[in-house]
Amino acid sequence: MTHVIDGNAVAQRIRDDLSENIDTLEADGTTPTLATVLMSDDPASETYVSMKQDDCEEVGIEAIDIEIEPDAPAEELFETIERLNDDESVDGILVQMPVPEHVDQRAVLRAIDPAKDVDGFHPENVGRLVAGEPRYKPCTPHGIQKLLAAADVDPEGKDAVVVGRSDIVGKPMANLLMQKTEGGNATVTVCHSRTEDLPAKTRQADIVIAAAGVPEMIDGSMLSDGVVVIDVGINRVEADTEKGYELVGDVEFESAKEKASAITPVPGGVGPMTRAMLLYNTVKAAGNRAD
């Protein structure tokens, strides 16, 4: 039987644990606080930010919700970040990506105080991760490590194939999987759009992490029996539903499930974990403030 990994359940356990930590911080006079900044009218980004706000409320993190018009000058965003950097009551700052084209995304990431960078995207935090001394692990790959652990999958000694080389998922995932610490010690291959013969690579994998952002690009014919499949994709594809679309992953679920020993669904797999780890990083940031 294939184990369909329930990301909602694992995320709930993480939120429950965090609630206890938050109560302790509160008792010491620190209210963990996350500021989200949205400079976009993309409906998916709007949904993600509002879900992050709801999550904060559930666990007792104070959420500050800042929206900037997508056609506002870039300075407005940079001034907002500066103000939040200087505000001692703010522990974490999340600027929802992507930002509009007239705003330099890399400059935005550099502008955030690395100590408040709960996404883990600032170059200083990326460097620390690669050096093996992470401050904030990026939320999606960290959440995937927790999912694997919850499913009793230890990457040590396994062949892990990461499909996708984004700064947000692919690169940090590969780094975490090869680190000498728990949840790492895998032999890691990173595949991407220029990879020749992707099926040959994915077929030799014990663990496949699909994070390319291409709907259902990996199917059962590309997988070996017993593989563990983690599907990071959240793709909106047109469908005859009330909303006019449905969400599909980067993995063709039904055929992949035939081969997999464990697999994450979309939705309800990686997505809830990404959000839970953002809360985790925010509480960690607040803990540093309280120290």
135 is in an annotated binding site: no
Our finding on whether 95 is near ligand GUN (CB under 6 A) is: yes
As measured in angstroms, the least distance from the Cβ of 249 to ligand GUN is 15
Which residues from 156-175 bind ligand GUN, rule CB under 6 A?
Answer: 168
DSSP state letter for 98: P
Can you say how many angstroms the Cα of residue 197 is from the centroid of all Cα atoms in its chain? Answer: 27
**Residues with active-site annotation:** 52, 96, 119
Residues 6 or more apart in contact with residue 111 via CB below 8 angstroms: 78, 81, 82, 85
Nearer to ligand GUN (CB atom), residue 33 or residue 274: 274
Region binding ligand GUN by CB under 6 A among candidate stretches 16-24, 60-68, 89-97, 258-266: 89-97
As measured in angstroms, the least distance from the Cβ of 157 to ligand GUN is 29
Supply angle C-alpha 130, 101, 94, rounded to 5.
50
Nearer to ligand GUN (CB atom), residue 28 or residue 42: 42
- Can you give the length of the chain in residues? 291
**Residue entry with tokens 């666990």:** 59
| Sole binder of ligand GUN in the list 4, 72, 97, 178 (CB under 6 A) | 97
Nearer to ligand GUN (CB atom), residue 144 or residue 260: 144
164 is in an annotated binding site: yes
Q: What residues pair up with 35 in beta bridges, in sequence order?
A: 64, 93
Shortest CA distance to 99 belongs to which of 118, 89, 112? 112
Which residues from 62-81 bind ligand GUN, rule CB under 6 A?
Answer: none
Question: Would you call the peptide bond into 70 cis, given omega within 30 degrees of 0 as the criterion?
Answer: no
SS3 at position 99:
coil
- Whether the Cβ atoms of residue 49 and residue 68 lie closer than 8 Å to each other: no
257: tokens are 């499930």
- Whether the Cβ atoms of residue 168 and residue 140 lie closer than 8 Å to each other: yes
Size of the site for ligand GUN (CB under 6 A): 8
| Sole binder of ligand GUN in the list 55, 91, 117, 119 (CB under 6 A) | 119
271 is in an annotated binding site: no
Question: Would you call the peptide bond into 267 cis, given omega within 30 degrees of 0 as the criterion?
Answer: yes
Alpha-helical runs (H) found in 155-203 = 170-178, 198-203
Q: How far apart are CA 136 and CA 34, in angstroms?
A: 14
249 is in an annotated binding site: no
Our finding on whether 96 is near ligand GUN (CB under 6 A) is: yes
Our finding on whether 94 is near ligand GUN (CB under 6 A) is: yes
Region binding ligand GUN by CB under 6 A among candidate stretches 61-69, 93-101, 150-158, 234-242: 93-101
249 to 288: interface string for ligand GUN, x by CB under 6 A: -------------------------x--------------
Detail the residues annotated as belonging to a binding site for NADP(+): 164-166, 234
Q: Which residues bind ligand GUN (CB under 6 A)?
A: 94-97, 119, 139, 168, 274
